[in-house]
Amino acid sequence: MYSKFWPKGGLPGILHHYTESLVTFEYASSSARQPHSLLFIGGLGDGMATTSYMSDLVRALQPTEWSLFTVNLTSSYQSWGLGHLDRDTTEIAQCVQYIKDYKTSKFGDGKVVLMGHSTGSQCVLHYISRPNPHQSVPVFDSELENIKRLEIDGAIMQAPVSDREAIALCMKYGFKGRSSSEIQELWKKLEEMAKEATIHQDKSFDTLLPLWMTSSIYPSNTPISARRLLSLLSPESPKSPSEDDLFSSDLSDEHFQKTFGMVQQRGLLKHKLMVLISGADQAVPDWVDKEDLLRRWKNATDHTGAQIWDQDYSAVVPGASHALSNDDQAEPRDFLVKKVLGYLQAAEKI
């Protein structure tokens, strides 16, 4: 279906191959010198330019010195159920390296900022908080080659939500025409099936779960492995969160210091960390205090006194839905764009 947010006829730009098989599209202005780059990473099920408010960002950046890149990853579109954050951030690092080399050859030194939406926020936090390079290669993805990640000039997370809490929301109220009891029964079986697969089957391969079961919450055309489902469901949380469980509100302050609190130590972020939570996010349960969660993330990020958290531009976006894609989202989209532009202007000065 055609998106009303993107103009008919499209927007001009350049398609870049940052690896032999993966591409990034740059919305480049023909009338402005743009040495700086904003690399946008979508969430589960997203691909190139599938997050609608990107159109607002593209238009806002056209007269500036920033161009926006949208990226294709191995886990894009319907492949996220087989993906993992180490591969995502390794491919993002390859894209950052390509953009840095390309822009430097064309304009000289410029800034590169990462912006993630939803699970793209997990990728951003993973990029700036994990060991550099990643210290191990998963047995199920033995062809992964870890590379050293470049420093970036800024990091933005928009709609960083907990998949575990979103699943709990579906279990509480029901979803896709199924009652809460039906969802709970299905997902109890899925969890048991996934655990059985990861314990007793060959760990060098992913085991796919039945689509008729996973489609009770996720899209019916998306294969999901037992490993990835358990990472999203994170059944040992909050005591022992899985890789994908980064943003749940019941995680301890001590645990947040192992993720948000590691940003300073890794030394990969030159500027500050900006976080925008959608005020009316459909994926966030009503029992989550969004302002308090922002405060706890800030405290974890700055627990050493480093002041890495961007207090000026981080915010709960009033009335914003998860991806700001509804018909009533004009004001939240304008709010978001102004925040991002202000942040990028500040990043230029570092």
Find, among 119, 154, 162, 161, the residue nearest to 339 by Cα: 154
Domain boundaries, the chain: 14-162+248-348, 165-233
- pLDDT at residue number 9: 78
What tens digit of pLDDT does each residue of 268-316 get?
999 999 999 999 999 999 999 999 999 999 999 999 998 999 999 999 9
**In angstroms, rounded to a whole number, what is the distance separating the alpha carbons of residues 321 and 333?**
10
Backbone angles phi, psi at 183, to 5 degrees: -65, -45
Q: Are strands 23-27 and 36-41 parallel, antiparallel or unpaired?
A: unpaired
| Class (C level, CATH) for 14-162+248-348 | alpha beta
- pLDDT at residue number 30: 77
Residue 6 pLDDT class (50, 70, 90 cuts):
confident
- pLDDT at residue number 108: 96
Residue 158: strand pairing partners: 117, 276
Q: Per residue, what are the HEC states of 96-130?
A: HHHHHHHHHHHHCCCCEEEEEECHHHHHHHHHHHC
What is the average per-residue pLDDT within 19-39?
Answer: 93
- pLDDT at residue number 201: 82
What is the average per-residue pLDDT within 18-44?
Answer: 94
Residue 3 pLDDT class (50, 70, 90 cuts):
low
- pLDDT at residue number 233: 97
- pLDDT at residue number 210: 97
- pLDDT at residue number 11: 87
What tens digit of pLDDT does each residue of 198-207 get?
998 888 999 9
Q: Is the pLDDT of residue 31 over 80?
A: no
Provide the percentage of residues in the chain whose pLDDT is more than 70.
Answer: 99
- pLDDT at residue number 1: 44
**In angstroms, rounded to a whole number, what is the distance separating the alpha carbons of residues 129 and 126?**
5
Give the mean pLDDT of the chain: 95
What tens digit of pLDDT does each residue of 58-112 get?
999 999 999 999 999 999 999 999 999 999 999 999 999 999 999 999 999 999 9
What tens digit of pLDDT does each residue of 103-137 get?
999 999 999 999 999 999 999 999 999 999 999 99
What tens digit of pLDDT does each residue of 155-185 get?
999 999 999 999 999 999 999 999 999 999 9
